[in-house]
Structure 1
Amino acid sequence: MSHPECMYCTDDGRLDKLMIEIGPLSVSTLYLFKEQTYRGRVLVALNTHEREMFHLSDEVRNQLMNDVARAARAVDKAFKPGKINYGAYGDTMPHVHFHIVPKYEGGEQWGTTFVMNPAQVYLSDEEYAEVIAQIKAALE
C-alpha cells in the first residue's frame, strides 16, 4: 500500500532535506539528522509503514528496539554525551520512528526536553561525512 503522505515511504525529497541516510539496520534504517545542535543526533525509522508500536509483531518490535539500542550505543561510543534522550512521536508524521538525541551537560536544553528542530547548527558536507564515519565505526 502506498503512503504518499509519509516522507519515509515516498522518495519525494522531503527526507533528504532533513536527514542523511547512514545505512540499514535489521528492520529499520539509520539516518543522521542534518540539524546537529545535539552532536550525533540520529533517527531510526522502521522500514515498513506502521503508525503505532502496538501494530508490530513481537519479533519486529524486538528487532526495532535492538536497532534503537544499537544506534544509541554507537552514538554514545562516538560522542560520549552525558545522556541520550529518545523521542517517539508521530503526530505529524505517523510512521514508527525514534529520535536518538545525545545531550551534553552544559549544552543545549540540558535538563529539559530536546527541541525537535532548533535550526541552529548545520555542518559542511565534509563534517557530515566525518560524523557519519564516527557513527559507522562505532556500530557494533
Structure 2
Amino acid sequence: MKSDPKECLYCQNNETLNNLMIEIAKLSVSRVFIFKEQTYRGRCLMAYKDHVDDLNLLSDDDRNAFMADVAKVTRAMQKVFNPDKINYGAYSDTLEHLHFHLIPKYKGGPDFGGVFRMNPQKVYLTDAEYEQMAEDLKKEIL
C-alpha cells in the first residue's frame, strides 16, 4: 500500500504535524524536528525531504546523504543532552514517509534497556524550553 503525499503530514505540513513536533532545521536531504512529547529528553525526528516510504527506495547517494544527516543530528543531540544511548526507530506501517525517531535514553530513565513508547507520559515543555532546545541543537547542527 502506497500512501498519497496529499494525505501525508510531512508533505502537507498540516496541523497534526505542528501539534506533534516543531521543525528546527532543513539539512541536505531531510528535515529535523523536536518531538513535543519529551518523556525522553531531547527526542527528535528526521523526515526525508520527499515522499518516499522506505530507505531501500533511495539511490545510494540519497541514502548516504540521509544517514549523514541523521548522524549529524545525533552528534548534536549527544553534545546537547548527553544521553547514555540514542535509539533509532524507523516505523512506517501506517505513515508511509521515510522518517526516523531519534530517542535519547538515560540510565535510570524511562525505558532504559527497553523499547521506547511513542507517547508514554505526555511530558510537554513550555514554549521557552522548546525554543532553548531548538537553539541549542541548531547551534550544533548548522
Q: Partner of 1:44 in structure 2?
A: 46
SS in 1 for 2:101: strand
Question: Tell me, what secondary structure is at the counterpart of 2:86?
Answer: strand
Higher helix share: 2
Give me the identity figure in percent: 50
| 1:22 aligned residue | 24
Give deviations 1:84-120, integer Å, cap 9, x for gaps. 0000010111100011100000000011011111142
Classify the secondary structure of the residue corresponding to 1:23: strand
Q: 1:98 aligns with which of 92, 97, 100?
A: 100
Structure 2 residue matching 1:9: 3-state secondary structure: helix
Moved more, 3-12 or 77-86: 3-12
- The alpha carbon displacement at 1:11 in A equals 3.0
- For residue 72 of structure 1, what is the aligned residue in structure 2? 74
- Of residues 117-126 and 17-26 in structure 1, the stretch that sits farther from structure 2 once superposed is 117-126
Secondary structure at the counterpart of residue 29 of structure 1: strand
Partner of residue 112 from structure 1, selected from 111, 114, 130: 114
Secondary structure of 2:9's counterpart equals: coil
> In structure 1, the residue corresponding to 2:77 is in which secondary structure?
helix
- How big is the alpha-carbon RMSD for the aligned residues of Structure 1 and Structure 2? 1.1
Secondary structure at the aligned position of 2:12 is classed as coil
Distance 1:43 1:11 in 2: 14
Secondary structure of the equivalent of 1:8? helix
Q: TM-score, normalised by structure 1?
A: 0.95
Aligned twin of 2:63: 61
Q: Distance in 2 between matches of 1:42 and 1:11?
A: 17
Could you say what secondary structure the match of 2:66 adopts? helix
State the Cα distance separating 1:54 from its structure 2 match.
1.0
Structure 1 stretches of at least 4 aligned residues deviating more than 2 Å after TM superposition = none
Tell me what 1:10 maps to.
12
* Shift of residue 52, structure 1, vs aligned partner: 1.0
Structure 2: 5+ residue stretches without partners: none
Instruction: Please state how far the C-alpha of 1:60 moved relative to its aligned partner.
Output: 0.4
AA at the equivalent of 1:41: R
Q: Partners of 1:122 and 1:9 in 2: how far apart?
A: 25
Shift of 1:4: 2.0
Aligned residues: 139
TM-score of the aligned structures, taking structure 2 as reference length: 0.94
Aligned residue for 2:89?
87
